Amino acid sequence: MQQSMKLTENAYDRVESGKKTIEIRLFDEKRQKLNIGDIIEFSKLPELKDKIKVKVIELHKYKTFRDLVTDYGTEYYGHQKDKYSVDEFVERCYTTYSKEQEQKYGVLGIEIKLIS
């Protein structure tokens, strides 16, 4: 199965460089359909012209962003180790997703490998 998702320019560049190996999303209806081995085509915001494909190699389901980031650290998201504290990283997640969304759906760490 192949899914399409959008990434900010910064996140896209970190995936493309191979530095970012886990993408964080809500475990909403769309992400509940993901399986190991699926392909995700990421499109770079805002124009959506640049695209890369990754393979899903693992799915990490958690209740909260804090739990996921605590277990894996920020370097899996393409940041230098200790660039952000867990609290700072979680607050950055809340600029995209609300605490209510997190509570409703839980979160998913999508471990990925660049394929093109």
Please state which of the ranges 38-42, 79-83, 111-115 shows the lowest mean pLDDT: 79-83
Question: What are the DSSP calls for 14-48, one per residue?
Answer: HHHTT-B-EEEEE--TTGGG--TT-EEEEEETTT-
Return the CATH fold of 2-114: 2.30.130
For 15-34, write each residue's pLDDT tens digit: 999 999 999 999 999 999 99
pLDDT band at 86 (very low <50, low <70, confident <90, very high): confident
If you search the block for the tokens 């996921």, which residue do you land on?
68
Backbone angles phi, psi at 84, to 5 degrees: -125, 140
**Domain chopping of the chain, boundaries:** 2-114
pLDDT for res 77: 76
Q: What pLDDT does 114 receive? A: 96
Other beta carbons within 10 angstroms of residue 49's beta carbon come to 7
pLDDT value at residue 79: 67
Sign of the torsion angle spanned by Cα atoms 53, 59, 60, 64: positive
Cα distances (Å, whole numbers) of residue 61 to 10, 49, 50, 83, 109: 24, 30, 29, 24, 6
High-pLDDT (> 90) share of the chain, %: 83
pLDDT for 85: 87
